[in-house]
Chains A and B, each alone.
Chain A
Amino acid sequence: DQQVKQNSPSLSVQEGRISILNCDYTNSMFDYFLWYKKYPAEGPTFLISISSIKDKNEDGRFTVFLNKSAKHLSLHIVPSQPGDSAVYFCAASPLRGGTASKLTFGTGTRLQVTL
């Protein structure tokens, strides 16, 4: 049972435009959400996170929105740059801290930013 779903395996966006990556979850116990970015042949790197007490968190060009009632979060990248081309994983946990052993990852969305 996939508790964290990224229904779009891939997304292509023109440079300078907005990229919107979506993530849905089914477990109402999830309380903390993260996005990781992964380049080929490298490990993922942490991008941005949001706690369930917020509905928005912004860090430079990256903004994550959380809609708890819809069990949906999205990552907005504005403006998109070619270096943003990577696979983006959504992850969720019932705990903000303590252990990452409860972290559940989505299947990833491959973003390609074209010139």
Chain B
Amino acid sequence: DGGITQSPKYLFRKEGQNVTLSCEQNLNHDAMYWYRQDPGQGLRLIYYSQIVNDFQKGDIAEGYSVSREKKESFPLTVTSAQKNPTAFYLCASTSGGDGANVLTFGAGSRLTVL
């Protein structure tokens, strides 16, 4: 079945450590996105990539980095510069065109900083 796989599902990190969240899709989608969800807030866009080897900052990119070396993969690194990294992270992809806003999401990764 086609879909998006995020790993790990749960991750604990000590302050000052970088962590990388994996996102893989087999939907042949060109565009991929990373969102952050906090309690009582909507999904906020961290980074997005419309094509391989290219990505743009979203609304809350500070303290995060991404790469897009393959169409299927869009990993997110949460760096020590991110002041409040504890959150639920969602990766999504879309086919673009008229369906660009119809996102397919992964199951999410919950990051907790100890």
Contacts and interface: CB of A to CB of B under 8 A. Distances in A.
B43 interface: yes
A107 B41 contact: yes
Interface stretch (A12-20, A59-67, A77-85, A95-103): A95-103
Contacts of B106: 43
Contacts of B104: 46
Given A106-B42, A107-B42, A101 B108 contact: no
B82 interface: no
Interface string A42-55: 11111001000000
Contacts, number: 78
In terms of DSSP, what is the predominant structure of the interface of chain B? mixed
Interface string A87-101: 001010101111111
B42 A97 contact: no
A34 interface: yes
B92 A89 contact: no
A9 B99 CA distance: 28
Size category, A interface:
20 to 34
Given A41-B107, A43-B106, A44-B105, A96 B98 contact: yes
A104 B99 CA distance: 16
B50 interface: yes
B107 A89 contact: no
B105 A100 contact: no
> Is chain A's binding surface mostly helix, strand, loop or mixed?
loop
B33 interface: yes
Interface in B54-97: 56, 58, 90, 92, 94, 96-97
Given A43-B92, A44-B90, A93-B101, A99 B31 contact: yes
B97 to A, nearest CB: 5
A67 to B, nearest CB: 20
A27 B75 CA distance: 32
7 contacts: A42-B107, A46-B104, A49-B101, A93-B101, A97-B97, A97-B101, A100-B100
Interface of B: 4, 6, 9, 31, 33, 40-45, 48, 50, 56, 58, 90, 92, 94, 96-108
